[in-house]
Amino acid sequence: KIYSTRQKLWRTKSCFPSGVFVADKSRSGIYINGTLNWAATHSSSSSSSTSSLSTIISYDMSRDVFKELLGPVCCKRGCFTLTLGDLRGSLSMVCYCKGANADVWVMKEFGEEESWSKILSISGLTEFVRPVWISNDLVVLLEFRSGLA
């Protein structure tokens, strides 16, 4: 459902991509280029195409439409949590891989699925992180559940 502050009412959008669910409903959408974006999962994640690819639901507020975007190719198996963020105005995604690391990806051209670029790989994490800021020389400020690092 979408709430309109102008009309002061809730309405249901019927064009939401079928078989796709927002992964973490407690998080707000990430605002990039007039869109709100959420990490999402497919209802049948057993297929090989969805187990190696992440999904993003993008809502274009000016056109009032939802679109499904493919995220970066993360781990072939075991990529279990995806966190979206905004790094310098670009959509970013952290892919956590069991027993391995967390990879930070940036979509260099919003909406262009081929423009995902892995900018950082972090090993030895014991909790989930969200990148907050990145410098020109790849110094990254990370937000942990316990605070910033």
Residue 143's pLDDT band, with cuts at 50, 70 and 90, is confident
**Mean pLDDT value across residues 47-54:** 48
Give pTM, 2 decimals: 0.74
pLDDT at 83: 80
The pLDDT tens digits of the residues spanning 80-136 come to 667 888 888 999 888 877 666 788 889 999 999 899 999 888 887 666 667 777 777
SS (H, E, C) the chain: CEEECCCCEEECCCCCCCCEEECCCCCCCEEECCEEEEEEEECCCCCHHHHCEEEEEEEECCCCEEEEEEEEECCCCCEEEEEEEEECCEEEEEEEECCCEEEEEEECCCCCHHHEEEEEEEECCCCCEEEEEECCCCCEEEEECCEEC
